[in-house]
Structure 1
Amino acid sequence: MSSDLWDKPIELMIENSDHFRSVSSTRDAMAYLMTSWPTKGGKSFSAARRACLGAIDGKVDSATAKLAFVRAAEEAGILRR
């Protein structure tokens, strides 16, 4: 399994887009998906959750989990570009 930390953090927009949150690891991503995600459900949300759990368990590469998380953030409209 690769390192839990990502090479570059992902920034998410919070609430009215005036606040941001930086997610820099698979564990951070999983915590954010489970506690603060704006919409539960959806294809990308489910894929990101599965990928992050798999990465934490050592069955999925951290980079794969990061990519799934980015796709979910794009779908949810919270990815800061």
Structure 2
Amino acid sequence: MSDDLWDKPIELMIENSDHFRSVRSTRDAMACLMTSWPTKRGKSFSAARRACLAAMDGKVASEEAKLAFIRAAEEAGILRR
């Protein structure tokens, strides 16, 4: 999918505030949700997972997945501002 890359990467604080991860696409976001997420619970986590899967299937825009991912990162307390 050519529009999978996001215009601006999302930076996350993984494990502690000294380690950052830059998420640049829907596929990268999905990988992060499945492997590096601090908790696999919460409404925003589930919504982000669904949105990323739908975007990878071409059912929703990549931007929608990005916004859902940002909300999940905020809920998890790992979004770098």
> Runs of 4+ in structure 1 displaced over 4 angstroms?
none
Structure 1 unaligned residues grouped into runs of 5+: none
Structure 2 unaligned residues grouped into runs of 5+: none
TM-score where L is the length of structure 2: 0.96
Q: Which residue of 1 aligns with 2:7?
A: 7
Deviation at 1:16, TM superposition (A): 1.6
Deviation at 1:68, TM superposition (A): 0.1
| Root mean square deviation, CA, Å | 1.1
2:9–2:23 CA contact under 8 A, matched in 1: yes
Aligned residues between the structures = 81
TM-score where L is the length of structure 1: 0.96
Q: Quick one: which amino acid aligns to residue 31 of structure 2? A: A
Alpha-carbon distance in 1 for matches of 2:2, 2:41 = 27
Q: Quick one: which amino acid aligns to residue 11 of structure 2? A: E
Q: Which residue of 2 aligns with 1:34?
A: 34
Question: Deviation string for 1:33-64 (max 9, x for gaps)?
Answer: 01110000100000000000000000010000
Identity %: 88
